Amino acid sequence: MLKQQAIPFTLIISLALSAPVFARGGHGMGMDSDFMAKFIAQYDSNQDGTVTTEEIQAARAAEFQQADINANGILELQELQADMESKQAEHQATRFAQIDTDGNGQLSVAEFQDSYPRTDTGIATTLFGLADQDKNGALSLEEFTALRSPEGHVWHHFAQLDSDGDGVISAAEYSAAKMDNRGPGGMGGHGGF
């Protein structure tokens, strides 16, 4: 009797796991090379220029362990919150360091504007003014991080609506923004703050 030999499921898994999923210089499914480089740097634990599923899983497991503060093998809501907050803070600090091109620990208006697309310089200027809470003409990391707070989202919204940058939103500006398909709800897509 001829019985079809079933391939053990575990074998399929291990074959799938050993295949490199991302390789340096490969065409990354529409992802930009900067993203790819960071991705590989983050997960390529054996430094061979390729990232395997195993490496990703190992990194995920390590991240889980790190987030599981009381080490009980599960993530409680508070642990997840703390983890997300620390990742967010880390992300903001990294972004701040990138924008702070002279490395003096403060963002000047010019540095902040440079981080924006050229077309959004006006928005960046308005946003800078709103975020600079102590009005010293520079953004500290703390002021910069506040751009990500609920209040900061309102600032983004305001800066986008106030297209002439005079610090108030006229009826014309308001309705123009409504007509624009980016719309007032379209915040968040600019400059990556």
Residues that bind Ca ion (CB under 5 A): 68, 70, 72, 100, 102, 104, 132, 134, 136, 143, 162, 164, 166
Minimum Å distance from CB 119 to Ca ion? 17
Minimum Å distance from CB 30 to Ca ion? 33
Q: Are 139 and 128 in contact (CB under 8 A)?
A: yes
Minimum Å distance from CB 184 to Ca ion? 14
Nearest to Ca ion of 48, 76 (CB atom):
76
Minimum Å distance from CB 130 to Ca ion? 11
Q: What is the DSSP string of 38-103?
A: HHHHHH-TT-SSEEEHHHHHHHHHHHHHHH-TT-SSS--HHHHHHHHHHHHHHHHHHHHHHH-TT-
Backbone angles phi, psi at 185, to 5 degrees: -80, -5
Nearest to Ca ion of 1, 74 (CB atom):
74
Nearest to Ca ion of 13, 110 (CB atom):
110
Antiparallel, parallel or unpaired: β 50-52 and 20-23: antiparallel
Nearest to Ca ion of 51, 152 (CB atom):
152
Q: Number of helices and strands (H, E) in the chain?
A: 9, 2
